[in-house]
Amino acid sequence: MNQDTLKNLCIESCEVIREVGIFIKHELGKVQASAIETKALNSLVSYVDKEAEKQLVKGLNALLPEATFLTEEETVKSEAGEYQWIIDPLDGTTNFLHQLPFFSVSVGLQHKEEIIIGIVYEVNRKECFYAWKGGGAFLNDKKIQVTKTAQLGDTLIATGFPYYDYEHMQAYLGVLENLMRNTRGLRRLGSAALDLAYVACGRFDAYFEYSLNAWDVAGGILLVKEAGGELSDFKGGDDYLFGRQLIAGNPQILKALQGLIRENFYPNS
């Protein structure tokens, strides 16, 4: 797929996602308690997630019929393929159900194990973050880039609290204590996809979290890369799409976070 084709597919995909965002916003505040399901500990889903996913699958399939899908709500069979859409129809479902205005639609297109399109749509502010491989990263048609902050003490860092996997709680709390003492602040807003988008556009200097799924991060990974940032897993490797742990940030701060996280999570390595 050449650059022009990739760019056009990305722009057309943004339009599909914006339409789904309109549906999600329309349903805000309308979901009754009886319509909420608990998939696992502290993992909620409603008809809004499922219907949004169906709309995304239909719209994206029309744009690239040969692509397969990996989706959070499994409204379509997950299959491998040369091209694969990785979809989170509503990242931040708990925020949505509590009417906290921080949730998003996240879509990534993978080609032979590499993300080549990444889109994160923030529904309430109508902010569409998007990137295609080699084309840069954008927010509503304006090019974006990560911060140039060089010192950890000058940073604002995003994270995600563990909400079902507490195996690494002490290590995580050790990282938090250090960052509380040595940064300008920490934020936990509740949508991994938006955390990555905010790193890409410079609102956060870095972000880290563990117990993630591929659909949480597939839309945001390329945004960070194309905005000049870097990513790694907690050991400093590149197993962050399916490896369930991720650090993202500008290159200087990423290195500082890698060291701090290794000290706490892998003290004997």
Residue 10 maps to which CATH number? 3.30.540.10
The structural domain count of the chain equals 2
Same domain for 85 and 45: yes
pTM over 0.75: yes
| 163 and 259, same domain (yes or no) | yes
Q: Is 182 exposed, middle or buried (0-12, 13-18, 19+ CB in 10 A)?
A: middle
Residues 67 and 110 reside in one and the same domain:
yes
Same domain assignment for residues 81 and 169: no
Residue 221 sits in the same domain as residue 159: yes
The mean-pLDDT minimum among 26-35, 177-186, 252-261 falls in: 26-35
Whether 116 and 172 map to the same domain: the answer is no
Q: What is the pLDDT of residues 51-90, one digit of tens each?
A: 999 999 999 999 999 999 999 888 888 888 999 999 999 9
Tens digits of per-residue pLDDT, 189-223? 999 999 999 999 999 999 999 999 999 999 999 99
170 and 81, same structural domain?
no
- Which of 143, 165, 186 is the last residue before a domain boundary? 143
Which of 101, 118, 143 lies at the terminal end of a domain, its last residue? 143
Do 178 and 171 contact (CB within 8 A), yes or no?
A: no
Verify that 10 and 78 share a domain, yes or no.
Answer: yes
Residues 180 and 233 in one domain: yes
Say whether both 93 and 36 belong to one domain: yes
Q: What is the mean pLDDT of the chain?
A: 94
Whether residue 157 sits in one domain with residue 87: no
Of 106, 122, 143, which one is at a domain's C-terminal end? 143
CATH code assigned at 228: 3.40.190.80
Considering only residues 209 and 47, tell me which one the structure prediction assigns the higher pLDDT: 209
- Tell me which residue range forms the domain holding 16: 3-143
The pLDDT of residue 4 is above 90: yes
The predicted-structure confidence for 116-153, as pLDDT tens digits, reads as follows 999 999 999 999 999 999 999 999 999 999 999 999 99
Claim to verify: residue 130 and residue 159 sit in the same structural domain? no
37 pLDDT band (50/70/90 cuts)?
A: confident
